[in-house]
Amino acid sequence: MFAKPYRKLLFFSLLLTGFIVIASLAQPFIIKVAIDSYIKMNDYQGMMYLGIIYFLLILISSICTYFQNNTLQFTGQYVIYDFRQAVFKHFSVMQMDFFRKNPIGRLVTRITHDVEALNQLYSQVIVNLVKEVLILIGIIALMLYMSVKLTLICFLVIPIIAIVTFYFKRVLRDTQRKLRSILSSLLSYLAENLSGMSVIQLFARERKQLDRFNELNEEHYRAGMRQTVINSIFNPSIGLFGNISLALLVWYGGRSVVDETITFGTVYAFTHYVRQFFEPLRGLADRFNQIQAALASAERIFETLETKPTIVNPVQPKELPEKVKGDIVFNHVWFAYKNEEWVLKDVHFRINQGETVGIVGATGAGKSSIIQLINRFYDNQKGIISLDGINIKNVLLNDLRRHIGIIQQDAFIFSGTVFDNIRLNHNAVSNEEIIKAAKAVNIDSFFSMLPQGYNTMLGEEGTVLSAGQKQLLSFLRAMIADNDVLILDEATANIDTESEQAVQSALREMSKNRTTIIIAHRLSTIQQADKIIVLDKGRIVEMGNHQQLLKNQMVYYDLCQNQNKGKTLKI
Ligand SMILES: Nc1ncnc2c1ncn2[C@@H]1O[C@H](COP(=O)(O)OP(=O)(O)OP(=O)(O)O)[C@@H](O)[C@H]1O
């Protein structure tokens, strides 16, 4: 499917290749004719015509080469652009599970290295391959036409070259394969270590990590050196055989000229063709590796593109209204990330329009998994989840997600200003509206005190926000998006009391008349909630408001007691 748009360009390049090959093959032959037919006869006019033909050939060949180079470069750029676009677009519709299974380093390699290798295939390998084969065939045909004997003499060394080439290239191929595999490990290791650098430093593992890196780096170095050494032996040996061939030619050809069995022009043309012959031969041996590498990359890219997303839009989607009420029902939902290792077991609850619901439970109980399901980051295996009475699997993903706002524990910050980060893709929202929203929930001061206020650059090279500031920013994102359902994944990290209070009051403000789900780590956050769902090992073990649950003196009561050690619980 991808080759189609490039077919015309490729065909044009091949056409030009034909002209270039003919021109380069014809040049020595024209000189031969000049020597044998015109110089000998002192035919000035004939020589002039030949000179003009020679000049035109060089001119046409140069023009063709110019257009061919450009066409190939364009093709290459199209290939890179299209494939990068396609791969990135594909990544953006993949489910979260895909990113968990594929290390980031590997995915980055797809978009960079593999796409580059494909570019090589289209912009270099195919055309050069055709060119080299045509030149070889052309040379052999011309040589045979001029003198069969001389051709056979020149080609005495060909079988040896074939064996040497075959042997070297096999060794080289193995080395290159090893080199690629080490490079891939090196990249994955690098990506993992760079993102986990804080943990490495915290646990003083720098030495250990460095040792492993050195090991991989050294392996890569050794494989790279091996490749260089092999190449440095291979290339001169082919050159050597080329020269042997030339020596044979001078010896036998010279004698034949003296004997007048072969013309001087023929020997002259042969010396050119022999030299010309070994160039494409060397190139051809490389093509094999390039094709292999490109095919391996193409295979990886297509494999990636063919990996179908598992979370997909329904064939006949139902439309959610512009504004949903926010009734959420989990109807006997079972969910496992893997096989039948159930993380949620027969979870059954209803959240009514405008309610604030807290979800609590020990770590690993399945709280976050519930959120992943509401958003359809994952699909449940059994049971039905519905929003306003519509099964969420029957709704377009975008339609569903635009109604649900999530305030995450650790909001992801993109490179850009505070304004950009709050606005995200709601381009119609003005700066003034953002400031107004921040003022409405009393968190404006947190942003206006940054070095350039809301215009402060964040991200890789910008200011780093604190955990509290990030959460407040996440709040504003949700406010601007104005989703009908709000989910708060409460921060486990301790944010300072001032930010905490700001978060709490902002939350109270935002949850008014809006279905709100809070994953609570600090139980104090949800004391006022209409309903609290208590999860234990994936099952709902209790449900009710704070007072009712305390009275039950069961799991929730224990959780509260654990969190309030030393304090007396008010029932
Ligand atoms: N992406 C995932 N792939 C496989 N298993 C996962 C994944 N995410 C979570 N789990 C597993 O699912 C179970 C529930 O995890 P979940 O994150 O829902 O718990 P939680 O109650 O939110 O925990 P915490 O309070 O620590 O955030 C855990 O046993 C966890 O190991």
203 CB under 6 A from ligand 1?
no
333 and 450 belong to one structural domain: yes
| Closest Cα to atom 23 of ligand 1 | 364
410 and 450 belong to one structural domain: yes
339 CB under 6 A from ligand 1?
no
365 CB under 6 A from ligand 1?
yes
360 and 275 belong to one structural domain: no
488 and 551 belong to one structural domain: yes
Q: Is residue 522 part of a domain?
A: yes
Mutation probe of ligand 1 site: the residue of 334, 345, 369, 408 with most atoms within 8 A of C-beta: 369
Q: Is residue 313 part of a domain?
A: no
Q: How far is the CA of 504 from the centre of ligand 1 (A)?
A: 25
- Identify the CA nearest to 141 among candidates 283, 64, 133: 133
Mutation probe of ligand 1 site: the residue of 94, 95, 339, 368 with most atoms within 8 A of C-beta: 368
363 CB under 6 A from ligand 1?
yes
The amino acid at residue 209 is Q
Q: Is residue 318 part of a domain?
A: no
Q: Are 232 and 240 in contact (CB under 8 A)?
A: no
In which domain, by residue range, is 412 found?
328-563
Q: Are 490 and 563 in contact (CB under 8 A)?
A: no
Tokens of 466: 């604190």
What does DSSP say about strands 515-519 and 485-489: parallel, antiparallel, or unpaired?
Answer: parallel
ipTM score of complex: 0.95
Mutation probe of ligand 1 site: the residue of 367, 371, 377, 379 with most atoms within 8 A of C-beta: 367
Query: Edge-to-edge strand order for the sheet containing 342-351?
Result: 342-351, 328-336, 382-387, 390-391
132 and 185 belong to one structural domain: yes
- Which residues are CB-neighbours of 226 under 8 A, at least 6 positions away? 175
Helices then strands, each counted (H, E), the chain: 20, 12
Q: Is residue 314 part of a domain?
A: no
| Closest Cα to atom 2 of ligand 1 | 337
- Which residues are CB-neighbours of 532 under 8 A, at least 6 positions away? 357, 358, 359, 360, 526, 542, 543, 544, 545, 546, 549, 556
- Identify the CA nearest to 101 among candidates 381, 337, 382: 337
**Using CA atoms, how far apart are residues 114 and 112, in angstroms rounded to an integer?**
6
366 CB under 6 A from ligand 1?
yes
CATH number at residue 182: 1.20.1560.10
279 and 336 belong to one structural domain: no
369 CB under 6 A from ligand 1?
yes
| Closest Cα to atom 10 of ligand 1 | 337
414 CB under 6 A from ligand 1?
no
| Closest Cα to atom 12 of ligand 1 | 343
Indicate which atom in ligand 1 lies nearest the CA of residue 369. 18
CATH number at residue 362: 3.40.50.300
Tens of each residue's pLDDT in the chain, 571 residues: 455 667 788 888 989 999 999 999 999 999 999 998 888 777 888 888 889 999 999 999 999 999 998 998 888 888 888 889 999 999 988 888 888 888 777 788 888 888 988 888 888 888 889 999 999 999 999 999 999 999 998 888 878 887 887 788 788 878 888 888 888 788 888 888 888 887 888 787 888 888 888 999 999 999 899 989 988 888 788 888 888 888 988 999 999 889 888 899 999 999 999 888 877 877 787 787 788 788 888 888 888 889 888 888 999 999 888 888 989 999 999 999 988 899 999 999 999 999 999 999 888 899 989 999 998 999 999 999 999 999 999 999 989 998 998 887 777 888 888 888 888 878 888 888 888 888 877 788 888 888 888 888 887 666 777 777 788 888 888 888 888 999 988 765 556 666 677 777 778 878 888 999 998 877 877 888 899 999 999 999 999 999 999 898 888 888 888 876 645 444 4
DSSP-based three-state secondary structure for 533: strand
Number of domains the chain is built from: 2
Q: Is residue 108 part of a domain?
A: yes
